[in-house]
Structure 1
């Protein structure tokens, strides 16, 4: 027993002053950290793209002519902006909504069930990332006309 207590252990690195250029690129963020950051990013993205969301909604329900204009914006474009760019913005909104929704359900589940453990945090974060990216890929394939 004294042999184990007296053996020198490897000293862990201490970070007192973190340099953003040298330390952050090598830092490995756990999946729960990525989900947390992406939850904030997706919320900000939906907020910033709110005028586009309002334009899409207004143009799609005003009249049949405006719906045709809305549909053509995604196929041939609008003004100098090509149609694929509108699809890409819509795809980013799809991802933002799905990720924000699924990550929000994850946070609610953890709050209600007091499921705050390292194992559950990691596994639920991986499920959240997989679901949001998988559903985005499926809906993106539909958006770009692959099926």
Structure 2
């Protein structure tokens, strides 16, 4: 084969989609990506929560300091976000475990279980917001 024939084979037209606004992920893919992100958020937030727990258990003054830190609106919002990420990770983790057992593997049931899981997380998120505030 000549070099020019090899170049012809490489120059085949290939589909290229560089417009990211036209790419649409299915809801199940979005849920899976968010599950991974919530796992990272949960992992990172462990350090924050352990620091706060250590501060609150160190002494009565440490407890007062930890209580005053958590009275801030911003800190309550961060705590609510951490709880929401944890709840999301738990609910969708259970969904993934059920899928590993053979349930919800078809597209229709997988989509339905994703929607139900989102509703459960939304309810638990509102409940955790009430607990934080």
**TM-score normalised per structure 2:** 0.80
Moved more, 49-58 or 59-68: 59-68
**Do 1:35 and 1:128's aligned partners in 2 also have CA atoms closer than 8 Å?**
no
2 CA distance for matches of 1:85 and 1:123? Answer: 35
RMSD of aligned Cα (Å): 1.7
1:46 aligns with 2:42: yes
Of Structure 1 and Structure 2, the greater helix share is in: 2
2 CA distance for matches of 1:27 and 1:18? Answer: 8
Report the CA distance between 1:97 and its aligned residue: 0.5
Provide the aligned length of Structure 1 versus Structure 2: 120
Structure 2 gap ranges (5+) = 1-13
Runs of 4+ in structure 1 over 6 Å off: none
Structure 1 gap ranges (5+) = 1-14, 76-82
**TM-score normalised per structure 1:** 0.73
Q: Deviations over 1:8-67 (max 9, x none)?
A: xxxxxxx82221xx2x22333222112101101101112222321211221233333222
2 CA distance for matches of 1:71 and 1:113? Answer: 46
